[in-house]
Amino acid sequence: MNDLDLLRRLAVALAIGLLIGLERGWRQREEAEGERTAGLRTYTLTALLGGVSAALSNGTSGVFLGFAFMAFAFGFTAFAWLEARAERNFSVTGVVAGMLAFALGAYAVLGHLQIAIAGGVIVTVILALKRPLHSWLRTLTWVEIRAALILLTMTFLALPLLPDRPVDPWGAINPAEIWLLAIIIAGISFIGYIALRVAGTRAGIAVLALAGGLASSTATTLTLARLARDQPKASPVLAAGILLSGSVMVARVLIVASALNVALLAPLLAPLGSGLLVLLVSAGLIFVRYRGGDAASATLTLTTPFDLGTALKLASLIAVISLLAKWVVANVGETALTVLAALSGIADVDAITLSMARLSRDGITVTTAVEGIAVAVAVNTLVKAGMTFGLGTRQTGLLVGIASALAIGAGTAAFLLGL
């Protein structure tokens, strides 16, 4: 490390301390001089002290940095304790912030500058959000905390332990992918729970539909249909949410397929674009038509952020369908691609979209790929309409079913006209 690089790193350490000190100093700005342990200057000098200590240890021994940190921590904690005892304000946040300022200053000299800067920004944001975080914490229930812990356990503990490879002779069952699908389904329900709680019924449903459509419109349909069954007054707006989620799915398929093979854009644009337009217009008309009356006054309340059992059942169903689709291809051959697309569309459109788009570059014709993708989207739209009938209310089923039929009809007409 040359002198210029060291100077640059020490400047970053100084800036990190200044950023943290700015927040700390502003929070304590009403206190008189001598009545606070640390403020703007102290935190700035602390980060610079960490950077200088790291530079000295780099030229001598790493033990020096450890002793420097311990000495600083002891002195800072002692003064903070004296202040706390005098004011009877027993908070350790300032001490931890000081230690972090020292550590980030040292890391700015010894490690990656971008990570050190990001760490300084994160520390400052967390310190600045004291009141909103405490207010949010007071509103949490044990059910919500438990759901978040389950979702985190599923994602960061269970998922890495599962084999990320097919475990069946046909190469259809990948435990990690199936478990990830269950996480996505549960996560969509969790997002919907938070959205409805924070934004209210209409805006919350719109947020859930948009976010869910990006991840899994099938899982979103399942969630909203079950809500309609439990709270029938909100059936119209929930039907609009299902249609909005379906329109996001169609747009996602068009974008993904075109990104993998731009030759698919033109032949897919008319059929998928027509269906997308019908779904969007239908969702908008339903929102406008039912903006008054019981549907407008309905307030959705969710008793649980997500149903883990339902998520696992839907993921298992998709796994079975995937296995069945692989078996059909293995026993019938490539002529069954349309059948495969239809079977895949029962549960999901992403896998078949990716497969068809890739094969269209060197394995199958563009027309075959377009037919397969269109069939998968149409079947998936029909399945979601049937799911809404079976799991939701009659009103939700009728609204979604009619709009879905119109969308499929418009897409089919556009496809036939383009041949």
Positive or negative, the CA dihedral 271, 272, 276, 277 is negative
- Residues with Cβ within 8 Å of residue 45, at least 6 apart in sequence: 17
Q: Where do the domains of the chain lie?
A: 3-136, 141-418
Give the whole-angstrom CA distance, residue 286 versus residue 275.
17
Tens of pLDDT along the chain (419 residues) come to 677 888 999 999 999 999 998 888 776 665 555 555 567 888 899 999 999 999 998 877 778 898 999 999 898 888 878 777 776 666 778 889 899 999 999 999 999 999 999 999 999 998 888 877 777 777 777 777 888 888 888 888 888 998 988 887 767 678 887 788 778 767 766 776 776 666 666 677 777 777 777 767 887 888 888 888 888 888 888 899 899 989 988 998 898 888 888 999 999 999 999 999 999 999 999 888 876 555 444 455 555 666 677 667 766 766 776 676 567 656 765 566 778 788 878 877 877 787 778 778 776 788 888 888 999 999 999 999 999 998 889 999 999 999 999 999 999 999 888 75
Structure tokens belonging to residue 219: 């899982």
Alpha helices in 231-365 (DSSP H): 235-260, 265-289, 293-297, 308-332, 337-347, 350-362
Structure tokens belonging to residue 414: 């556009």
Give the whole-angstrom CA distance, residue 373 versus residue 253.
8
Give the whole-angstrom CA distance, residue 216 versus residue 339.
22
The predicted model scores a pTM of 0.60
Positive or negative, the CA dihedral 410, 413, 418, 419 is positive
Alpha helices in 34-92 (DSSP H): 40-59, 62-87
User: Which residue pairs, CB below 8 angstroms and at least 24 apart, start in 211-216?
Assistant: 212/188, 212/245, 212/248, 213/244, 213/245, 213/246, 213/247, 213/248, 213/249, 213/252, 214/248, 214/252, 215/184, 215/187, 215/188, 216/181, 216/184, 216/185, 216/188, 216/348
Q: How far apart are the first and last CA of the chain?
A: 66
Give the whole-angstrom CA distance, residue 157 versus residue 364.
40
Residue 205: name the closest of 218, 193, 187 by CA: 193
Alpha helices in 89-216 (DSSP H): 93-110, 113-128, 130-139, 142-153, 159-161, 175-199, 201-215
Angle between helices 3-27 and 113-128 (to 10 degrees): 0
Give the whole-angstrom CA distance, residue 9 versus residue 58.
13
Backbone phi, psi, residue 91, to 5°: -125, 130
